[in-house]
Amino acid sequence: MTDLGDAMTDLIVCTALGMEARAVARGLRPELGGDHPRIRVVRVGMGPDRAARAAALLPPAAALAVTGFGGAVHDGLRPGDVLVATEVRSGDRVWPCPSAPLLAGELLRAGLPARTGPLVTSPHVVTGRGRHALAREGACAVDMESAPLAEAAGARPFAAVRVIVDTPDAPLLNLATMGGAVAARRTLARIGPVLARWAAAAGPRRVLLASPRSFCAGVERAIEIVERALDRFGAPVYVRKQIVHNIHVVRDLERRGAVFVDDLAEVPEGAVTVFSAHGVAPAVREEAGRRGLRVVDATCPLVAKVHAEARRFAARGDLVVLIGHAGHEEVEGVLGEVPGAGVLVEDEAGVADAAQNVPWGRGVAYLTQTTLAADEAGRVAAAIRRRFPDAEGPRGDDICYATTNRQHAVRAVAAQADLVLVVGSANSSNALRLTEVAARQAPLARLIDDPGDIALDWLRGARTVGLTAGASTPGAMVDAVVAALGGLGPLEVEERRVTEENVEFTLPKEVRP
């Protein structure tokens, strides 16, 4: 046993072999002192029987981890890879490891080739055929100690992290594999500090769920359009740009047969093509017509309203000032409706620049990108009205109801949170605005795509976490974050609902039932 702390232990790290224990302890030594967690590294011996006997003698600890070498059963794992168990299996018993995505993400940021998946504990060494059988059952790797320790952990945070030293094609006694064990020991030393950060992040906490959150009606409609197009016309169905700005949605539709392209030139003539929820310029529609594409338009009806307003203002000779962000697909589509009659303004300073392009006597009208923060857009609109007192705005608020609702909801939790997590992709305008809104009230606000993006240091001392998601983010991603946080200790989840949403949009005729 290697004692790296005092009698009050925050984390026990178990290994089977002495060389594993020494490697982990070596990596942990720089982490000691100050307010770092108190850690003990314990050698439990090889095999489930020794591990079970050692587990019965372990002193109390806030968290328990097992690490060391492991054998791959999945073809995608190679010697030197690190597997973080999502669950530990033994016979017909399963012990979930909910915080695995947090650990794997931290290991990746530390430069280690980590992935997640099921780990099987076997009472004996598993060779070629046995490993292939485990792979068919969905396992990724095998060891001989994790299950008894997972059982001993009980309700405490538990993690199993294995460095792969052999595979079905490169058995343990192979000379090349033995040489890889040297590199594996170095990897174990690098795993130690990550386990220390994991232990420091553990503890009870409260999650405040902002509501509404996740998908809005326009996003649900756009995704359903692609799904129905695939069902009706068969794969491939081409989609110009990302149907919505979320990488998980895009990957899921790609697996089903959707092909995402940046330009219509990439689409075969006559192919079924979906326009994204953000809308397109008339020039894009004209090109699709020339190439005989079978178009299904998934433009959000609220974005289509902004297009119509732009055409109305331009038709009477006004300069159309669009408040938005350069490069966003919605902005490109709206300005494409009014060539030569539209100008983009991103902030209050940009209003003065726009004013230079307005000849005396010309009318000015303004519109807003639907996914902006309401207060941000309001300040720019006020600056436009100060500069052009007769400027006319849209007939109704351009900013999407879902954007506004989600911003109100995140404000309701941010003031009480130590940390706010906004789930959404970095190219999602509404998710970025949510993060900015949260950051004005919470000590720390961060945008994440999934649990793997959560830095463990953010969670240290964060006993109340606000959680929301952009309008293009699947609700399952929020559930995954809650589950991962639950793997760090007791979790109290409280929903803060500011309004109900019951908006529905009809589908285009091409994909209606």
pLDDT at 284: 97
Tell whether omega for the bond before 212 is within 30 degrees of 0, i.e. cis. Answer: yes
pLDDT confidence tier of residue 6, bands split at 50, 70 and 90:
very low
Instruction: State the residue range of the domain holding 493.
Output: 205-213+401-497
Pair 90, 192 in one domain: yes
Domain assignment of residue 369, yes or no = yes
Phi, psi of 89 (to 5 degrees): -115, 145
Q: Is 116 annotated as a binding residue?
A: no
- Average pLDDT of the residues in 344-371: 83
Sign of CA dihedral 99, 105, 110, 115: positive
DSSP per-residue codes, 275-302? E-TT---HHHHHHHHHTT-EEEE---HH
β-bridge pairing 342-345 and 319-323? parallel
β-bridge pairing 272-275 and 93-96? unpaired
* CA–CA separation, 32 and 3 (whole Å): 11
* CA–CA separation, 23 and 269 (whole Å): 60
How buried is residue 304: exposed, middle or buried, by Cβ count under 10 Å (0-12/13-18/19+)? middle
Domain harbouring 229, CATH code: 3.40.50.11270
Pair 138, 260 in one domain: no
The token pair at 162 is 């294995």
Q: Is 400 annotated as a binding residue?
A: yes
Pair 52, 166 in one domain: yes
* CA–CA separation, 80 and 482 (whole Å): 30
Pair 111, 242 in one domain: no
- Structure confidence by residue, pLDDT tens digits, 258-312: 999 999 999 999 999 999 999 999 999 999 999 999 999 999 999 999 999 999 9
**How wide is the angle at C-alpha 108 spanned by C-alphas 106 and 111, nearest 5°?**
115
- Structure confidence by residue, pLDDT tens digits, 136-186: 999 999 999 999 999 999 999 999 999 999 887 766 555 445 555 677 888
Residue 419, strand partner residues: 465
pLDDT at 126: 86
Pair 142, 283 in one domain: no
The token pair at 330 is 């919605």
Last residue of a domain, one of 342, 362, 387: 387
Pair 100, 172 in one domain: yes
Tell the residue number behind the tokens 């010309």, with chain if given: 362
* CA–CA separation, 407 and 372 (whole Å): 10
Domain harbouring 119, CATH code: 3.40.50.1580
**CA-closest candidate to residue 54, choices 42, 44, 63, 65:** 44
pLDDT at 295: 98
Cβ neighbours for 289, distance < 8 A, ≥ 6 positions apart: none
pLDDT at 129: 84
Q: CA-based Rg of the chain, rounded to a whole angstrom?
A: 28
**CA-closest candidate to residue 467, choices 439, 486, 495, 488:** 495
Pair 235, 273 in one domain: yes
- Average pLDDT of the residues in 458-468: 97
Last residue of a domain, one of 347, 363, 387: 387
Q: Is the pLDDT of residue 360 over 90?
A: no
Helices (H), 202-246: 217-233
Q: Is 246 annotated as a binding residue?
A: no
Domain assignment of residue 395, yes or no = no
Q: Is the pLDDT of residue 382 over 80?
A: yes
Q: Is 370 annotated as a binding residue?
A: yes
Q: Is 300 annotated as a binding residue?
A: yes
pLDDT confidence tier of residue 35, bands split at 50, 70 and 90:
low
pLDDT at 456: 97
Pair 51, 164 in one domain: yes
Q: Is 90 annotated as a binding residue?
A: no
Domain assignment of residue 421, yes or no = yes
Domain assignment of residue 146, yes or no = yes
Q: Is 428 annotated as a binding residue?
A: yes
* CA–CA separation, 479 and 104 (whole Å): 18
**CA-closest candidate to residue 320, choices 338, 347, 346, 302:** 338
pLDDT at 5: 43
Tell whether omega for the bond before 236 is within 30 degrees of 0, i.e. cis. Answer: yes
- Average pLDDT of the residues in 107-124: 96
* CA–CA separation, 511 and 509 (whole Å): 6
Provide the domain count of the chain.
4
Domain assignment of residue 80, yes or no = yes
- Structure confidence by residue, pLDDT tens digits, 175-234: 445 555 677 888 999 999 999 999 999 999 999 999 999 999 999 999 999 999 999 999
Residues labelled catalytic: 330
Pair 167, 23 in one domain: yes
Domain assignment of residue 312, yes or no = no
How buried is residue 96: exposed, middle or buried, by Cβ count under 10 Å (0-12/13-18/19+)? middle
Tally of CB atoms within 10 A around 327: 9
Domain harbouring 455, CATH code: 3.40.1010.20
Helices (H), 63-211: 100-109, 128-136, 146-153, 175-201
Q: Is the pLDDT of residue 4 over 50?
A: no
Do 428 and 473 touch, CB atoms closer than 8 A? Answer: yes
Q: Is 97 annotated as a binding residue?
A: no
Pair 58, 186 in one domain: yes
Last residue of a domain, one of 201, 233, 257: 201
**How wide is the angle at C-alpha 400 spanned by C-alphas 394 and 405, nearest 5°?**
130
CA distances to 222, 224, 424, 469 from 449, in Å: 20, 22, 5, 9
Percentage above 90 pLDDT, the chain? 79
| Amino acid type, 41 | V
- Structure confidence by residue, pLDDT tens digits, 431-461: 999 999 999 999 999 999 999 999 999 999 9
The token pair at 133 is 């059988």
pLDDT confidence tier of residue 84, bands split at 50, 70 and 90:
very high
- Average pLDDT of the residues in 37-52: 93
pLDDT at 121: 97
Q: Is the pLDDT of residue 477 over 60?
A: yes
Q: Is 278 annotated as a binding residue?
A: yes
Pair 297, 324 in one domain: no
Question: Order of strands across the sheet with 205-211?
Answer: 445-448, 419-423, 464-469, 205-211, 491-497
Pair 261, 286 in one domain: yes
Q: In a 3-state reduction of DSSP, which class is residue 85?
A: strand
Domain assignment of residue 393, yes or no = no
Higher per-residue pLDDT: 425 or 128: 425
Q: Is 132 annotated as a binding residue?
A: no
- Structure confidence by residue, pLDDT tens digits, 500-510: 999 999 999 99
Do 94 and 121 touch, CB atoms closer than 8 A? Answer: no
- Structure confidence by residue, pLDDT tens digits, 309-325: 999 999 999 999 999 99
Q: In a 3-state reduction of DSSP, which class is residue 102?
A: helix
- Structure confidence by residue, pLDDT tens digits, 62-75: 899 999 999 999 88
Domain assignment of residue 392, yes or no = no
Tell the residue number behind the tokens 């538990």, with chain if given: 158
Q: Is 74 annotated as a binding residue?
A: no
How buried is residue 234: exposed, middle or buried, by Cβ count under 10 Å (0-12/13-18/19+)? exposed
